[in-house]
Structure 1
Amino acid sequence: MSADAGAFPSDDWGVDPPDTDGVRAQDGAMFTNESGRPNTQPQPEANRPGATETDPAERDRVVDAVRAGCLVVVVAGHWLMAAIGTEATGTGAYRVQLANMLELRPWTQWLTWVLQVMPLFFIVGGFANAVSWTRTVNRGGRWADWVANRMRRLLAPAIGLLAVWLVVVAVAQPFLDPRLVHGGHRLVTKPLWFLGVYLVITAMTPLLVRLQTRLGIWAVVPWAVAAVAVDVLRFNDHDTALASLNFVFVWAALTQVGMSWDRLVANRDRWWMLAGGGYLALGLLVGIGPYGLSMVGVGGKVSNMAPPSIALLALGCAQLGLILAAWDRLRSVLAQERYWTPVMRIGAGGMTLYLWHLTAMAIGVCLVALAASLGIAQPTPGSALWWATRPLWFGVLAVVLSPILRRAAPVEVRSLLAPQSTGTPLWAAVLGVTAGAAAIAYLVIEGLQPVGPAVVPVLVLAALVRWLSPPNDAEPAIDRADRSA
């Protein structure tokens, strides 16, 4: 499931779907105590550090704000690193040239130490999944139902994207330059890798919670050691098949860190240890070790992202330290509804925004190509003028994306508010996770060409969503507040 940089920016920035079960104060507080192990009794609502005066029992607003902020960074990172230029054809028109800014201007690779937010997504996702699973267990719920509901909500928004692009590829293939068609469908299918990885890690939540129960904050160590071992073997013989194990080990390690969220927040005055230690480790890995500077894939080099390396664990710890440093200020700001409302709105349509923002960029490239054919040139990528025109580029893409979101977002909203599945057989949940991950892996590796074979995994995903959906007349299994984004 490689996602190294090519003509377009890598999709390695990632995004986490909103935690539709909610991050409730009493559930989060019961998860870890001072030792890093779960409390057996919920903490009083007023004592939960993430709660606010306006909703003391319902949300850890900082967690939601981190996810929403990371989502904005994801979109900005992709749009910013698209180095789209033009060259003269000698006929008065121009030809579009596509490149990756990380390759074109290597100094921009330093920006990935800030813009690569995937580690933070898995950290906050680990906390959210642990809270949701703990609450499910306390209610007498089952893993099969829990994972089926989360799988359905994760996959449902992707079906529309894939259906649209199957039609686009089928219609455009006979008429357009094959390279343009190939670049378009590869651009929009690459980000799907996150769905497959997150689906597997989510299914592992009971195991991760059990490790957290027994080992506390030290539960991250086994995953980290395994990731280091894979890296050592990988850098010695470049065995990419073996390195793929780190799709589990590295992301599980970061997810495990998130399950110590309460303890880390309680000791946030030591944020500098986490941030300093993380960046020091990252600096040593890059400066002395064999790890590359870029925290996303750059063509021709061993990627820190696809498959992920231990460098991302160091980066995630460093970023978490910075979040803890700003935690009190963030909590104060988010207590104000004018700041909290945008966070909720972004979170509610998070997966839709993630899946469709590259489609908007593909349309933007087509607009640039149209302008180039009319004799309108683009600034040289990386030049002062090019950087100065990035706000205009962002504005155009935002205008393109807005109507897409209005049409696509209701699909995600309906999946969030749908009744909960019950009575899911264990074999069905296991089969669903396996088939879903396999179908996504195929689409990430092969894309949507040729169209015929690509229809099969898309139909598999659509069938899974339908199969895991409860009857239309089913009653909601939990209160709507628990499913709010």
Structure 2
Amino acid sequence: MATVLTRPAPGTAVGRAPLTPRSAPPAPVRAPGRDLFIDVLRLFGIALVVLQHWSMPVLSFTGREVVTGNALASGNAWIITWISQVMPLVFFAGGAANAISRRGAVRRGVAAPAWLASRLRRLAWPVLPLAAVWLPLPHLLLASGLPEQPVITAARLAGQLLWFLAIYLVAVAATPLMLRLNAAYGWRVPAALTAGAVAVDAVRFASGLEVAGFPNIVLVWLAVHQLGFLYADGRLRRPWAMAAAGYGAAVLLVTDGPYPGSMIGMPGAAMSNMAPPTVALLAVAFGQIGLALGLRRQIVAFASWPGVTRVLGWAGTRMMTIYLWHMSALFTVTAVVVVGLGVSTPEPGTSAWLSGWPHWLVMLALAVWPLLRGFARFEEPPAAGPYRGGAVRITMAAALTGTGLLLLTVFGFVPGVAPVIGAGALLAGLLLTFSARVRDTARA
């Protein structure tokens, strides 16, 4: 997923002409080479997601069931989630990358459907081997005599990771339109999305219906994605004010409002700021992005060190594979250590937990290594000729791909018909992004 990213120099704004292949905006002043800041944010975000998923579980086995808890639910550890819940940074970096990629495609005369076909392939192709492994795996594990509850839990959680790709696909598909709105209205676009999120939360809390908050799945994440466009334009000029406003608003919403303090779902909590996302999470997102932008110079300097650059280069081509398979490594180690050997996780925060945590991470890293070796080759989709399918076909492709990802998110890979339909829809959507090679007219 490594992408060459260039952006305007800080403080440089682009023109506001509509973004179409016939009328591209004036070429902005660009920093040479890669935008290491965006590279680092994307990799840092995925790395922290993996670290959090590997560190949070508190596990024990009763003989028939795996009992799970959350290490961040103890004491005031929830405050860590104001930094460790980094999906806002991932969506922000993705917005910048999509803006830069789409504008480059416009300058080269690449139409929106062809650009979207390429982005869909890069986004969803690595999911195919995950589905190929996990669709039959629960059946095989149950047939081998393993307890049902741990197998079903693992099969469900292996698919829940795909929620990010399902929502990000919506952001990618909306990029051409949202870029036009950004060119015309700038800051007013994320402001309008934020206002919509506030209205949705008001209805949610007034009605008491959790489903009323679902529109924020689109509004909140599109608002964060839109901030990436503004970064690509060089319009985010007051990062420390942005950080103070974002985190300050989050403090007020948590202390004086109905929002819980944690930015991830906690066991037994009445509600979650994450599913569906709330205005409190959006406020933390503004704070995180402002903080990251304020430290941009230091981040870029650190990323320029030769050793760090090599690590970024290695991880950049394996980022999606690490994200998709890190939970499978967790299930493997849990099956051996917790279920097989009967070793429970120590009480979070104790000396036993702190001393055992590095050993736990080493075991997980060893478990994920062969998965990386085996599946990183799917990070890049197969070479394809120019897309010639048009807007209707790529819309169908996006709808099928998104439906497949959504079904796998909701049902996971639990034995049943839904995961099979989800995997089939995903494959059908990907196939529609390819165009058959046609013979040259003169040769025909």
TM-score above 0.5, yes or no = yes
Distance 1:126 1:166, change over 3 A: same
Superposed CA deviations along residues 109-132 of structure 1, whole A, max 9, x for unmatched, are 111001000111111111111111
CA distance in 1, matches of 2:308, 2:392: 44
Q: Indicate whether 1:379 and 2:364 are aligned.
A: no
- Which of 393, 405, 408 is the matching residue for 1:440? 405
More divergent stretch after superposition (94-103 vs 207-216)? 94-103
2:89 and 2:288 in contact (8 A); partners too: yes
- Where does residue 252 of structure 2 map in the other structure? 284
- Where does residue 59 of structure 1 map in the other structure? 34
- Where does residue 456 of structure 1 map in the other structure? 421
SS of equivalent residue, structure 2 residue 67: strand
- Where does residue 200 of structure 1 map in the other structure? 170
Following superposition, the deviation at residue 29 of structure 1 comes to 2.1
CA distance in 2, matches of 1:285, 1:254: 18
Matched letter for residue 49 of structure 2: V
Distance 1:62 1:377, change over 3 A: closer
CA distance in 2, matches of 1:394, 1:227: 37
Following superposition, the deviation at residue 471 of structure 1 comes to 5.5
* Structure 1, unaligned runs of 5 or more: 1-17, 49-55, 475-485
SS of equivalent residue, structure 2 residue 76: helix
Q: Indicate whether 1:76 and 2:51 are aligned.
A: yes
1:305-344 correspondence runs (5 A): 305-344=274-313
CA distance in 2, matches of 1:464, 1:271: 39
Superposed CA deviations along residues 252-309 of structure 1, whole A, max 9, x for unmatched, are 1001111111455773xx3220111111001011111111111012243221111111
Following superposition, the deviation at residue 169 of structure 1 comes to 0.9
Q: Indicate whether 1:144 and 2:113 are aligned.
A: yes
1:149 and 1:420 in contact (8 A); partners too: no
Q: Indicate whether 1:42 and 2:32 are aligned.
A: no
1:95 and 1:372 in contact (8 A); partners too: no
CA distance in 2, matches of 1:421, 1:392: 48
Q: What TM-score does the superposition give when structure 1 sets the normalisation length?
A: 0.83
1:234 and 1:242 in contact (8 A); partners too: yes
CA distance in 2, matches of 1:260, 1:209: 10
SS of equivalent residue, structure 1 residue 173: helix
Q: Which has the higher contact order (CA 8 A, sep 6+)?
A: 1
2:16 and 2:25 in contact (8 A); partners too: no
1:148 and 1:424 in contact (8 A); partners too: no
Following superposition, the deviation at residue 442 of structure 1 comes to 1.6
Q: Indicate whether 1:114 and 2:83 are aligned.
A: yes
SS of equivalent residue, structure 1 residue 83: strand
1:278 and 1:318 in contact (8 A); partners too: yes
1:120 and 1:319 in contact (8 A); partners too: yes
Matched letter for residue 465 of structure 1: L
- Which of 128, 131, 134 is the matching residue for 1:162? 131
Q: What TM-score does the superposition give when structure 2 sets the normalisation length?
A: 0.90
Q: Indicate whether 1:410 and 2:377 are aligned.
A: yes
- Where does residue 478 of structure 1 map in the other structure? none
Following superposition, the deviation at residue 426 of structure 1 comes to 1.3
1:413-424 correspondence runs (5 A): 413=380, 415=381, 418-419=383-384, 421-424=386-389
CA distance in 1, matches of 2:398, 2:377: 24
Q: Percent identity?
A: 31
CA distance in 1, matches of 2:418, 2:233: 48
Across the aligned residues of Structure 1 and Structure 2, the Cα RMSD in angstroms comes to 2.6
- Where does residue 21 of structure 2 map in the other structure? none
Distance 1:95 1:443, change over 3 A: closer
Distance 1:259 1:420, change over 3 A: farther
Distance 1:266 1:240, change over 3 A: closer
- Where does residue 12 of structure 1 map in the other structure? none
More divergent stretch after superposition (346-355 vs 168-177)? 168-177
1:153 and 1:412 in contact (8 A); partners too: yes
* Structure 2, unaligned runs of 5 or more: 18-23, 440-444
CA distance in 2, matches of 1:290, 1:405: 42
Distance 1:402 1:311, change over 3 A: same
- Where does residue 256 of structure 1 map in the other structure? 226
Following superposition, the deviation at residue 385 of structure 1 comes to 1.0
Distance 1:42 1:280, change over 3 A: same
More divergent stretch after superposition (167-176 vs 354-363)? 167-176
2:388 and 2:435 in contact (8 A); partners too: no
Q: Indicate whether 1:274 and 2:242 are aligned.
A: yes
Following superposition, the deviation at residue 473 of structure 1 comes to 10
Matched letter for residue 231 of structure 2: W
- Where does residue 388 of structure 1 map in the other structure? 355
1:32 and 1:260 in contact (8 A); partners too: no
Following superposition, the deviation at residue 405 of structure 1 comes to 0.4
Following superposition, the deviation at residue 244 of structure 1 comes to 1.1
CA distance in 1, matches of 2:319, 2:430: 18
CA distance in 2, matches of 1:364, 1:209: 44
Distance 1:32 1:246, change over 3 A: farther
- Which of 367, 386, 393 is the matching residue for 1:400? 367
Superposed CA deviations along residues 25-59 of structure 1, whole A, max 9, x for unmatched, are xxx229984489579432444xx3xxxxxxx2x31
Superposed CA deviations along residues 372-421 of structure 1, whole A, max 9, x for unmatched, are 34xx55433442211221111000000000011000000113x1x73454
1:23 and 1:131 in contact (8 A); partners too: yes
CA distance in 2, matches of 1:314, 1:266: 16
SS of equivalent residue, structure 2 residue 42: helix
- Where does residue 219 of structure 1 map in the other structure? 189
Paired positions, count: 432
Following superposition, the deviation at residue 233 of structure 1 comes to 0.5
Superposed CA deviations along residues 307-339 of structure 1, whole A, max 9, x for unmatched, are 111122211111112112221122223233321
Distance 1:262 1:159, change over 3 A: closer
Superposed CA deviations along residues 114-161 of structure 1, whole A, max 9, x for unmatched, are 100011111111111111111212222112111111111111111111
1:33 and 1:263 in contact (8 A); partners too: yes
